[in-house]
């Protein structure tokens, strides 16, 4: 069986980490693309030279030419600006939507059968644009946000209770903004409901930290945003696709009536397998969670309207 080909569009902090993880896990040959000449080539060569030590045989190519991504099986997009302190994800809209449009046109041209994972922020708008421009069906365009936000929730719960992160299951749904929805009613530690282990007041504090967790890293780094954990999250989604795992993961998926939401990308649990996003998993939510989902949808809809304005002005 031929090796899979994974195209990483954007060779910055997340792109480089993605390439490293792809190689270490032997997921396939990697093409690292960026507009800054030398950056993708340098990172790819550096990673190639770690191969004999780590024992990976996959090929890594860095390029500024889209022809290299020809026939990729998976494309992961991180091209665009990252946040600096004081910025919200939404502040990136103007610049990143121009970049996303150009990137999506090239993916449609050179990798028309790929599974497309978008990481660039503001995520919910960028993944919407990627679907529109590529014209790919909804099962082949997905946004990475929920896996990361849920991992942050799991980390903080494990720290709070001093238990293994592997004992904690949790889901964060909704948009990838400060009004994301940590779903307390499905958060468990070794099968025990979190509400039996941590007080409601303390959970509120932890969940607020989850909502602000991206900003907490931006404030610490000062020059950019989180990159190890977003890369790990996208790799989990890639593995689910390449290995046909049918893994249920919270992702930004295109909704057509599920959760009472129509025509919007929104964070919900989905099953990812060889068919891409094979199914949206409908789960019952508490009244409070439903209300929070509604608030978050409104924000995503406003963001998309703002994006449409930006696109209309630049047309
Ligand atoms: N085509 C391809 N790459 C581009 C383009 C473009 N048109 N414009 C910019 N880039 C590249 C930059 O040259 C840079 O190398 O995108 C890369 C982004 O890398 P970083 O600045 O290191 O940002 P990173 O931390 O990787 O985050 C990327 O993901 O999580 C989101 O908010 C984050 O939107 C940001 C994105």
Q: pLDDT tens digit string along 172-218? A: 999 999 999 999 999 999 999 999 999 999 999 999 999 999 999 99
| 2 has a pLDDT exceeding 90 | no
For residues 22 and 150, membership in a common domain is answered with: no
pLDDT band at 313, cuts 50/70/90? Answer: confident
176 annotated active-site: yes
For residues 191 and 268, membership in a common domain is answered with: yes
For residues 90 and 196, membership in a common domain is answered with: no
The pTM of this model reads: 0.97
Residue range 89-107: mean pLDDT, rounded: 94
For residues 9 and 122, membership in a common domain is answered with: yes
For residues 256 and 192, membership in a common domain is answered with: yes
With the most atoms of ligand 1 within 8 angstroms of its CB, the residue from 66, 80, 117 to mutate is: 80
Distance 81 CA to ligand 1 centre (A): 5
SS (H, E, C) the chain: CCCCEEEEECCCHHHHHHHHHHHHCCCCEEEEECCCCCHHHHHHHHHHHHHHHHCCCCCEEEECCHHHHCCCCEEEECCCCCCCCCCCHHHHHHHHHHHHHHHHHHHHHHCCCCEEEECCCCHHHHHHHHHHHHCCCHHHEEECCHHHHHHHHHHHHHHHHCCCHHHEECCEEECCCCCCEECHHHCEECCEEHHHCCCHHHHHHHHHHHHCHHHHHHHHHCCCCCCHHHHHHHHHHHHHHHCCCCEEEEEEEEEECHHHCEEEEEEEEEEEECCEEEEECCCCCCHHHHHHHHHHHHHHHHHHHHHHHHHHHHC
Last residue of a domain, one of 143, 162, 180: 143
How many domains is the chain built from? 2
pLDDT at 294: 95
Distance 253 CA to ligand 1 centre (A): 22
For residues 251 and 293, membership in a common domain is answered with: yes
In a domain, 311, yes or no: no
Range of the structural domain that residue 119 is part of:
5-143
**With pLDDT > 70 as the criterion, what percentage of the chain qualifies?**
100
In a domain, 194, yes or no: yes
pLDDT band at 87, cuts 50/70/90? Answer: confident
């Amino acid at each position: 069986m031929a090796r899979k080909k994974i195209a990483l569009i954007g060779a910055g902090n997340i792109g480089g980490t993605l390439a490293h993880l792809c190689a270490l896990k032997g997921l396939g040959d990697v093409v690292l693309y960026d507009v800054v000449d030398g950056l993708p080539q340098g990172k790819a060569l550096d990673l190639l030279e770690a191969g004999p030590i780590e024992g990976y045989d996959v090929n890594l190519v860095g390029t500024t030419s889209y022809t290299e991504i020809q026939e990729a099986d998976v494309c992961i997009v991180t091209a665009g600006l990252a946040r600096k302190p004081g910025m919200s994800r939404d502040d990136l809209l103007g610049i990143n939507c121009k970049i996303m449009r150009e990137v999506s046109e090239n993916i449609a041209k050179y990798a028309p059968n790929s599974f497309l994972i978008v990481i660039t922020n503001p995520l919910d708008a960028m993944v919407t644009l990627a679907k529109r421009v590529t014209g790919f069906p909804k099962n082949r365009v997905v946004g990475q946000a929920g896996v990361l936000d849920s991992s942050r929730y799991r980390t903080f719960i494990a720290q709070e209770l001093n238990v293994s992160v592997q004992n904690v299951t949790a889901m964060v749904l909704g948009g990838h903004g400060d009004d994301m929805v940590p779903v307390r009613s499905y958060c468990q530690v070794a099968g025990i409901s979190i509400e039996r282990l941590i007080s409601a007041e303390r959970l509120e504090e932890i969940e607020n930290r989850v909502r602000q967790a991206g900003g907490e890293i931006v404030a610490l780094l000062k020059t950019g945003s989180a990159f190890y954990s977003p890369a790990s999250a996208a790799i989990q989604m890639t593995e689910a696709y390449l290995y046909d795992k049918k893994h249920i993961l919270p992702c930004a998926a295109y909704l057509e009536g599920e959760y009472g939401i129509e025509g919007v990308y929104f964070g919900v649990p989905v099953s990812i397998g060889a068919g891409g996003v094979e199914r949206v998993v409908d789960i019952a939510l508490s009244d409070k969670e439903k209300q929070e989902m509604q608030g978050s949808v409104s924000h995503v809809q406003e963001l998309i309207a703002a994006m449409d304005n930006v696109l209309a002005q630049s047309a």
